[in-house]
Amino acid sequence: MKQSAKSAGKGLNKAGFLKTFKKNLPLTLMALPALIVMFLFRYLPMSGLLLAFKRFSVRKGIFGSDWVGLDNFEFLFQTSDAWIITRNTICYNALFIFLDLVLAVAMAIGLSELLNKRRAKIYQTIFMAPYFLSWVVVSFMAFSLFSLDDGLFNHLLAYFGFEGVNWYAEPGKWPFILTFFQIWKTIGYSTVMYISSLTGISNDYYEAAIIDGATKWQQIKRITLPCLKPMMIVLTILAIGRIFYADFGLFFQLPRDSGPLYPVTQVIDTYVYRALKETGNVGMAAAASLYQSIVGFVMVVGANLIVRRIDPDSALF
Amino acid sequence: MKNISKRAAALAMTAVMTAGLLTGCGGGSGSTAGSTGSGAAAGSGSSGDEITTLTWYMSINPVAADTDKVIAKLNEYTREKIGVEIDYKVIANPDYKEKMPNLINAGEYFDICFTSNWTTDYLQFVGKEAFMDITELLPQYAKETYDFIPEAVWDAVKVNGSIYGVPSYKEMGWQGGIVYNSDMAEAYGIDMSTVKTLEDYTKVLEVVAEKSKAEGKDVVGVSGLTNAWPMAAPYESLTGNPKLPAAGAVPEFGNFQDVSSQAVFNQYASEEYMNYCQTVRGWNQAGYLGGDPVNYDSDIANRDNDFNNGALFSYFIQYAPGTSEAMSASSGHGVGFVPLMDPLFETRSALGGLLAISSASEHPDKALEFINLLNTDEYVGTLIRHGIEGEHYTAVGDTQVDKTMGGTLTDNGYDYTYGWQFGTPFNQKWDISYPDNIEELFQQYNDSAVISPNNGFTFDAVPVETQVAALTNVIAEYTPSLETGSVDPAEYIPKFLEALQANGVDQLIEEVNTQLTAFNSAK
Amino acid sequence: MKIFKKAKAVDMPVEDLAINRISKKTNFIMNIVFVMWSLACVLPLLLVVIVSFSSEQSIFENGYSFFPSEWSLDAYRFFFRLGDQLVRSYGITIFVTVVGTLFSLAITAMFAYVLSRSDYAYNRLFTMLMLFTMLFNGGIVATYMVNTQLLGLGDSVWALIFPMSLNAFYVIVLRTFYKSIPLEIIEAARIDGAGEFKTFFSIVLPLSKPGLATIGMFTTIAYWNDWFLGMLYIVDQKKYPVQTLLWSMQNSLEFMKQSSVNALEYAEMAASAPTDSGRMALTVLVVLPILLAYPFFQKYFVKGLTVGGVKG
């Protein structure tokens, strides 16, 4: 890292720049296809960010449309629910990030330690299964569990002599339900990431540890976890960058857009969706997305700064 | 100030565009100029070799397998008749909703496209200057259509006095009411003709519950309540969306007691809303609505099944002529209809389907001539809706078609249900499943329609978009449970009103009022 | 770096050393936990399959059930009525998935490798540029304009491939894999006279197989599952990939049922077309093929389960 910064600094004069450029040319060529794709499909459309400050007209196009200042952002803050929406989005995401990290790492290590390896493979495949189901399908499944009249849970409650619960009208229960389904759906995915990271750990470490008489628990603490650390940090920082984005399917489809649940299910993405369904205002959509991006950007830079203080090698940049 | 300058700019734009159009015509081939003067509607024929190709984006559901064949046939005819060939881009309704707005936003070229208030929103894209102002061109290039569609309908599609699309002329307005299982009503000895209001219906529900329980059956009395409130106390929705606050009273209905006929008011704060919610609350607590009316409403397939099997007695719908006949055919039992109101025609009623011309179109003249054919040439109307005679249908008498073709409808390569999306159904032959006197039924319906006092007023939401955004969320949160009687209105309506207040309902109503006053004084 | 010593230090694989095994008791408890979680994962999938084969009538009567009162193939019949179109759409999806994954993996792997090299001068610059694209995007209007107007990808299969081909998230994950490869190996290769490309293809790539397999699998899934790009960019229904086709068909049906009020002739079509079982059949048609491809990828990264894999 430091080296490259130095060499970039040296490149200030023209000759130095050319020299650096030439020396790095093979690697730059290797990066070129990706850079072209990035430029064409990511950077060219960035002009759309301007729409956040404009009133879009089809005939005038993006650049020709009239400026409206910050008007497009107003709807995000003027609602009386602004606080609830922000709180929900951030709290759920923070919880999901934490649980996903802890559980996926635990699961990956647990699977790798099982005595029967074939069984471990089968488990691992099965854990991926929910990832393939769309939220719409999951919401119908969930309805067959939670439905007031025909739901499995209410049948069970009735069987044990309790009164049925109107699940879709009781906000108190949904933070748990949402968290469960989120983890259920994504944990397999994260586990795969960590399992494939485990393959990168050399046997020699463990061999040395065994010779030193380290217990299993010590091996995990001293070898496995430190080796997984870079992946843990990277995945967490990236997740933090998306802390202001909520999974629309989870918060909209799963609770079936049920009004009484809004206090615990209303997040930025559902609010924006409902708000713009009527007006279809392109500028307001752009404003919402820019707002989410900026918060994400600040969070990533902040998280990265902290990581760099503690462990410079694991930092993203 | 903002509005005025915007309007001025739009006017200037129109002037420039018209000028461009004129020079385009003048500079073009002689044939186009020739057909301009005489009016293509008279069927000037292709007076030259020049064939204009029009790109037409159409939303229809589902896309028929034999579309290419039918369009080839259509092109044969239109080439001859008006010198036009259609480059037909047909997209299924749900896909169109996703695709078309992006296509228009991105400035993709097209001549004609389908628009409405439920897909690719007409007012929204007029606001984005995507459609061409055809007020002047209409009488020139589509005179027959212009004369054929009633004035009130043209008024309704006007935005700031200009027309941006040709509406599909079908039933005028909407009529709320209850469809019910008439066999069951008869068996239980219920006289539905006495039902005029929602309160009257309580007695019916009571009898249904009582008698069905006696038979050991569990029958849901009525469903569809999430749409029922505007039918119980109809009002003119001045924002174009009946869910948004800002209602206007319709004097003919005389249903809102404490508001004067001209005022703009918040329908949710009215006495009538409280009454409606109380009534429904009573139904809910008496068990007439099933356990979970909100979720019951969202599963249409299940509802239809219950209705067909006699597990559901009735539900609220917006009615069109011929509906109960069709429903009794599909449900296997008698179906009756109780209207709760006369049909109401308001601005939004005309926005169910329109064909608009792109503001970038190079051939608005030809596009209008073609739209004119869709609306007035019976060969074209029937062809685009029912397909080719002998291949997709056989004619029955002069006005009807039989589409079974010795098999089932599902095997028919060209079968569309929503023919009106192509234009007016009065210019298409009718399927034999409709009653013989269907056009008369439509005529009766349209004659009985009440035209709302502010028909033609379109609300420009731009100045209060922030409020509309926030209010939409509040309404989605509270109304489903209130309007199905799932919560106590005495407790929740005040909360609801408070939330509306906090999110700017007053500003919205104020803005509607201002614009409406300006609209009426300009009339 | 002693990690990459050539020969195995101990002949016996590590997992066979009795001392390194977890106790039978721990193993038993962990198995119980995993079995329970497996049930939570696999039962819903099984239910999807069963419901897709249930008759619509039995769903109305009993809701979703593992033991439907009546079996039926109606849902599949509904989709198979598409006939040639379905085959063609599967073809398009397979093409997009294979070509897309290969292309995406190639550019992602090279880019990630370059970014992982701490001695590369523009490392930081490009990392920042890429991170920026992960956090900010131009929105659908501008993206659509660029892709259709500027790049002319409208109604073309490439519109389904290129926009998804570079995912910053995967670049960063892969970069993390590469970073665990010590620079010494690369330098050793250079001393042996290998160029950057040769080093990459003959030394780095083989070492990062688990990472590539993981990313490759996720990319494959993403291409396979995508219906939205098809919905956005493909106008001609004949060119729909299979996900878009099925999505569109299911929604057309639901649309028809919901607006049934003013429809007359629809009855027969709607009656023959199942909604609940159809939704599930759609899921089966989409998920099953990709589930079958899963073990192919798993064989590369699942080695991690047996501890060890990277050998010098």
Calculate the average pLDDT of chain B: 86
Alpha carbons C206 and A61: distance in angstroms, whole number? 49
Q: Is residue C236 part of a domain?
A: yes
- A-chain residue closest to C64, CA distance: A144
Q: Is residue C62 part of a domain?
A: no
Contact B29, B48 (CB under 8 A): yes
Give, in order, the Cα–Cα distances in Å from A71 to each of B126, C162, C308: 21, 34, 57
Calculate the average pLDDT of chain C: 83
Do B51 and B198 have their domain in common?
A: no
- The DSSP string of C262-299 is G-STHHHHHHHS-SHHHHHHHHHHHHHHHHHHHHHHHH
Side-chain half-sphere of B365: how many Cα atoms within 13 Å? Answer: 22
Percent of chain B with pLDDT over 70: 89
pLDDT tens-place string over residues B76-98: 999 999 999 999 999 988 899 98
Domains along the sequence of chain A with CATH: 1-69 (no CATH), 79-314 (1.10.3720.10)
Cα-flanking dihedrals φ and ψ of residue C41, to 5°?
-85, -40
| Amino acid code (one letter) for A314 | S
Point out the domain boundary residue: B449, B469, B490.
B449
Q: What's the structural domain count of chain B? A: 3
Q: What is the pLDDT of residue C260?
A: 47
B125 alpha carbon, distance to own chain's centre? 17
| Shortest distance, CA C185 to any CA of chain A (angstroms) | 15
User: Does B95 contact C at CB distance below 8 Å?
Assistant: yes
Q: What is the pLDDT of residue C51?
A: 92
DSSP-derived letter for residue B299 is: -
Alpha carbons A48 and A289: distance in angstroms, whole number? 11
Alpha carbons B90 and B71: distance in angstroms, whole number? 11
- B-chain residue closest to C263, CA distance: B417
β-partners of residue B356 are B113, B165
Q: Which residues of A touch B13 (CB under 8 A)?
A: 59
Alpha carbons C110 and C174: distance in angstroms, whole number? 10
Q: What is the pLDDT of residue B17?
A: 37
Q: What is the pLDDT of residue C1?
A: 35
Q: Is residue C66 part of a domain?
A: no
Alpha carbons A174 and A167: distance in angstroms, whole number? 8
Length of chain C: 312
Which residues are CB-contacts of A10 (< 8 A; sequence separation ≥ 6)?
Answer: A16, A20
Of A57, A259, A281, nearest to B480 by CB-CB distance is A259
For residue C98, the tally of other CB atoms under 10 A from its CB is 13
CATH code of the domain covering residue B326: 3.40.190.10
CB contact under 8 A, A168 and B294: yes
Tokens of B232: 């119980």
Q: What is the pLDDT of residue C136?
A: 94
Confidence check: pLDDT of B384 > 70: yes
- C-chain residue closest to A180, CA distance: C40
Chain position carrying tokens 């499943």: B433
C-alpha triplet B280, B283, B286: angle, nearest 5°:
150
CB contact under 8 A, B108 and C149: yes
Alpha-carbon Rg of chain B, whole angstroms? Answer: 25
The torsion of the CA quartet A158, A164, A167, A173, rounded to 10 degrees, works out to -80
Q: Which residue has the higher pLDDT, A209 or B475?
A: B475
Do B118 and B238 have their domain in common?
A: no
Question: Nearest Cα to A247, choosing from A226, A270, A228, A231?
Answer: A270
Contact B66, B414 (CB under 8 A): yes
Q: Is residue B490 part of a domain?
A: no
Q: What is the pLDDT of residue B314?
A: 95
Do B237 and B308 have their domain in common?
A: yes
Do B395 and B332 have their domain in common?
A: no
Exposed, middle or buried, B453 (CB in 10 Å: 0-12/13-18/19+)? middle
SS3 B197: coil
Do B245 and B367 have their domain in common?
A: no
User: Does A58 contact B at CB distance below 8 Å?
Assistant: yes
CB contact under 8 A, B106 and C144: yes
Q: Is residue B470 part of a domain?
A: no
Alpha carbons B101 and B57: distance in angstroms, whole number? 11
Do B367 and B407 have their domain in common?
A: no
Alpha carbons C310 and C312: distance in angstroms, whole number? 7
Q: Is residue C96 part of a domain?
A: yes
Q: Which residues of A touch B295 (CB under 8 A)?
A: 143, 147-148, 168, 256
Confidence check: pLDDT of B21 > 80: no
Over range B157-174, report the average pLDDT: 93
Range among A145-149, B497-501, C151-155 with highest mean pLDDT value: B497-501
pLDDT tens-place string over residues B340-365: 999 999 999 889 899 999 999 999 99
Exposed, middle or buried, B484 (CB in 10 Å: 0-12/13-18/19+)? buried
β-bridge pairing B394-396 and B400-402 = antiparallel
- Residue of C176, C181, C217, C243 best to disrupt the A interface, most CBs of A under 10 A: C176
Contact A42, C162 (CB under 8 A): no
Do B248 and B330 have their domain in common?
A: yes
Confidence check: pLDDT of C272 > 80: no
Q: Is residue B423 part of a domain?
A: yes
Model confidence band, residue C60 (pLDDT cutoffs 50, 70, 90)? confident
β-bridge pairing B52-59 and B84-91 = parallel
Contact B355, B112 (CB under 8 A): yes
Lowest-pLDDT choice from A161-165, B6-10, B150-154, C71-75 = B6-10
Cα-flanking dihedrals φ and ψ of residue C156, to 5°?
-125, 155
Confidence check: pLDDT of C4 > 70: no
Q: Which residues of B touch C263 (CB under 8 A)?
A: 326, 417-418
Q: Is residue C44 part of a domain?
A: no
Question: Nearest Cα to C173, choosing from A289, A133, A183, A189?
Answer: A189
Over range C235-256, report the average pLDDT: 86
Q: What is the pLDDT of residue A56?
A: 93
For residue B151, the tally of other CB atoms under 10 A from its CB is 11
pLDDT tens-place string over residues C185-205: 888 888 888 888 999 998 899
Size of interface B-C (CB pairs under 8 A): 103
Q: Is residue C20 part of a domain?
A: no
SS3 B118: coil
User: Does B396 contact C at CB distance below 8 Å?
Assistant: no
Q: Is residue B477 part of a domain?
A: no
Alpha helices by DSSP H, listed for A114-133, are: 117-128
Confidence check: pLDDT of B282 > 70: yes
- The DSSP string of B426-489 is GGSPEETTS-TTHHHHHHHHHHHPEEPTTTT-----GGGHHHHHHHHHHHHHHHHHHHTT-S-H
Confidence check: pLDDT of C290 > 70: yes
The one-digit pLDDT tens for each residue of chain A (317 residues) are: 444 444 444 445 778 888 999 989 999 999 999 999 999 999 999 999 999 999 999 989 999 999 999 999 999 999 999 999 999 999 999 999 999 999 999 999 999 888 888 898 899 989 999 998 889 889 988 998 998 887 889 989 999 999 889 999 999 999 999 999 999 999 999 999 999 888 778 778 888 888 888 888 888 999 999 999 999 999 999 999 999 999 999 999 999 999 999 999 999 999 999 998 877 889 999 999 999 999 999 999 999 999 999 988 888 88
Contact C168, C131 (CB under 8 A): yes
Do B192 and B62 have their domain in common?
A: no
Cα-flanking dihedrals φ and ψ of residue C265, to 5°?
-80, -5
Neighbouring chains to A with at least 3 Cβ pairs closer than 8 Å: B, C
Which residues are CB-contacts of A101 (< 8 A; sequence separation ≥ 6)?
Answer: A190, A232, A235, A236
Q: What is the pLDDT of residue B44?
A: 43
Q: What is the pLDDT of residue A184?
A: 97
CB contact under 8 A, C262 and B98: no
Q: Is residue B521 part of a domain?
A: no
Alpha-carbon Rg of chain A, whole angstroms? Answer: 25
Q: Which of residues 201-240 of B touch A (CB under 8 A)?
A: none
β-bridge pairing B354-357 and B112-115 = antiparallel
Omega cis (within 30) before A230? no
Q: What is the pLDDT of residue C311?
A: 32
Contact B61, B97 (CB under 8 A): no
Contact A227, A201 (CB under 8 A): yes
Q: What is the pLDDT of residue A6?
A: 46
The boundaries of the domain holding residue B203 are 176-342
- Residue of B7, B116, B477, B482 best to disrupt the A interface, most CBs of A under 10 A: B477
Q: Is residue C22 part of a domain?
A: no
Alpha carbons A185 and B28: distance in angstroms, whole number? 62
Do B19 and B165 have their domain in common?
A: yes
Query: Structure pTM?
Result: 0.88
Q: Which residue has the higher pLDDT, C256 or B27?
A: C256
Q: What is the pLDDT of residue B59?
A: 92
Alpha carbons B332 and B340: distance in angstroms, whole number? 25
Alpha helices by DSSP H, listed for B28-120, are: 30-38, 67-82, 93-105
CATH code of the domain covering residue C266: 1.10.3720.10
Contact A131, A220 (CB under 8 A): no
The boundaries of the domain holding residue C180 are 83-273
What is the interface pTM, i.e. ipTM, of the complex? 0.89
User: Does B302 contact A at CB distance below 8 Å?
Assistant: no
Do B198 and B233 have their domain in common?
A: yes
Give, in order, the Cα–Cα distances in Å from C71 to each of A137, A276, B302, C54, C286: 20, 42, 18, 4, 21
Over range B503-510, report the average pLDDT: 95
Confidence check: pLDDT of B497 > 90: yes
Question: Nearest Cα to B86, choosing from B96, B100, B71?
Answer: B71
Confidence check: pLDDT of C292 > 80: yes
DSSP-derived letter for residue A43 is: I
Q: Is residue C111 part of a domain?
A: yes
Do B156 and B222 have their domain in common?
A: no
CB contact under 8 A, C41 and A126: yes
| Amino acid code (one letter) for C167 | N
User: Does A17 contact C at CB distance below 8 Å?
Assistant: no
SS3 B177: strand
Q: What's the structural domain count of chain C? A: 1
Do B241 and B320 have their domain in common?
A: yes
C-alpha triplet C210, C216, C218: angle, nearest 5°:
110
Which residues are CB-contacts of C48 (< 8 A; sequence separation ≥ 6)?
Answer: A133, A137, A141, C280, C283, C284, C287
